[in-house]
């Protein structure tokens, strides 16, 4: 019995390539166990100042100001949920760009590009392990942070999970476009750090976007992530939502198709340009 070779592309070979990429990343991730610890501890460190800051704004333990905007005074559950979703956003949105940069620096991008595997598939493969490790570390983080600060979701977890799926798939489109920019610019760190902070800030990871200055609210409303975070919180924490949840879900689905189309179109266009220029291997 012969195994299907990668040089005869089929669904089976493509899936095998995906699995190989994911297994390689899985091995690399666990070779540095401190990274896993860091993934768990980092978000807790980042939200601790907010926990104590919230206390400075609270009367008798009640964040009444926050409740007036969001519909819940439980600001820590609000922020913890935002933090978990942000972990996934970081994985999908920026993970592919970072992976490309790593391959460029290690000098393996060109040889990977020569394999008979779809380039978008290579990018997707680089996120699979991250998605799994993000799930593991986020659950542990949520358990620890829940014990420290309290986490009280009251809504339907399955509905919230299903709502997050089109948001995540749409993010793959964003990720493709971002990976294309990394191919062009060959510098990812500043780009990732700055854009990640801006997107997190404006889509309401840590606060309801209703509290943004009035001139920033239209910018937040243009970000599909805003609706994803808002809808998931609305379902799980019963917070006030910007639009009815059904409308937000429809927007997320539309965004998913639009971004997947645009992201892959943009990526292939840039990739062709980079190959024409011969700058693929440069960093």
Partner 1 sequence: MQTSLTPRSLGQPGILSDVRAFQAILGREWRIFTRYPSWMIALFIWPLIFPMLYILTARALSGPDGSGLAVFMKTTGASDFIGYIVIGTTVWMWQNIVLWDVGFSLRNEQMRGTLESNWLSPTWRFSYLLGHTGPQIVSMLMFISITALEFGLLFGVKLHGSVWMILLVMLAAIPSIYGLGFAFASLVITVKEANAFVFLIRGLVMIFCGITFPISLLPGWMQSIAKWLPQTYLIHGMRAAAFSNAGITELLPDLIPLLLFGTFWLVVGYSTFLWMERRARRTGAIGQY
List interacting residues with partner 1 (CB under 8 A).
32, 34-35, 37-38, 41-42, 45-46, 48-50, 52-59, 63-70, 75, 79, 187, 190-191, 193-194, 197-198, 200-201, 206-208, 211-213
Complex with partner 1: residue 199 or 231, whichever CB lies closer: 199
Complex with partner 1: residue 29 or 265, whichever CB lies closer: 29
**How far is residue 99's CA from residue 74's CA, in Å, rounded to a whole number?**
37
Q: Is the CB of residue 12 less than 8 Å from the CB of residue 117? A: no
Cα separation values, 191 from 62, 88, 91, 134, 156, Å: 38, 18, 15, 22, 36
Q: Which of 43, 14, 22, 169 is nearest to 99 (CA)?
A: 22
Cβ at position 115, least distance to partner 1 in Å? 28
Complex with partner 1: residue 207 or 262, whichever CB lies closer: 207
Cβ at position 98, least distance to partner 1 in Å? 14
Complex with partner 1: residue 47 or 177, whichever CB lies closer: 47
* Cβ neighbourhood burial of 228 (10 Å; 0-12, 13-18, 19+): buried
For 24, residues 6+ apart whose C-beta sits below 8 A from its C-beta are none
Cβ at position 202, least distance to partner 1 in Å? 9
Cβ at position 46, least distance to partner 1 in Å? 7
**How far is residue 21's CA from residue 130's CA, in Å, rounded to a whole number?**
11
Complex with partner 1: residue 63 or 260, whichever CB lies closer: 63
Cβ at position 70, least distance to partner 1 in Å? 7
């Amino acid at each position: 019995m012969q195994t299907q070779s990668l040089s005869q592309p089929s669904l089976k070979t493509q899936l095998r390539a995906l699995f190989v990429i994911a297994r390689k990343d899985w091995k690399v991730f666990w070779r540095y166990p401190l990274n896993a610890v860091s993934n768990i501890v980092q978000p807790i460190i980042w939200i601790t100042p907010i926990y104590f800051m919230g206390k400075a704004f609270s009367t008798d333990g009640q964040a009444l100001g926050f409740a007036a905007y969001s519909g819940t005074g439980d600001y820590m559950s609000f922020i913890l949920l935002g933090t978990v979703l942000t972990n996934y956003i970081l994985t999908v949105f920026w993970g592919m760009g970072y992976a490309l940069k790593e391959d460029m620096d290690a000098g393996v991008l060109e040889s990977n590009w020569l394999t008979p595997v779809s380039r978008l598939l290579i990018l997707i493969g680089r996120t699979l392990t991250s998605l799994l490790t993000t799930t593991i570390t986020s659950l542990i983080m949520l358990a620890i942070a829940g014990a420290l600060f309290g986490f009280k979701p009251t809504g339907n977890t399955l509905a919230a999970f299903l709502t997050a799926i089109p948001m995540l798939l749409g993010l793959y489109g964003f990720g493709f476009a971002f990976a294309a920019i990394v191919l062009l610019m060959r510098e990812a760190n500043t780009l990732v750090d700055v854009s990640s902070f801006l997107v997190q800030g404006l889509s309401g990871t840590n606060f309801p976007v209703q509290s943004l200055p009035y001139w920033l609210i239209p910018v937040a409303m243009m970000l599909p992530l805003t609706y994803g975070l808002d809808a998931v919180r609305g379902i799980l924490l019963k917070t006030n939502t910007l639009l009815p949840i059904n409308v937000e879900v429809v927007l997320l689905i539309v965004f998913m198709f639009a971004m997947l189309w645009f992201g892959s179109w943009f990526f292939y266009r840039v990739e062709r340009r980079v190959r024409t220029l011969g700058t693929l291997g440069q960093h």
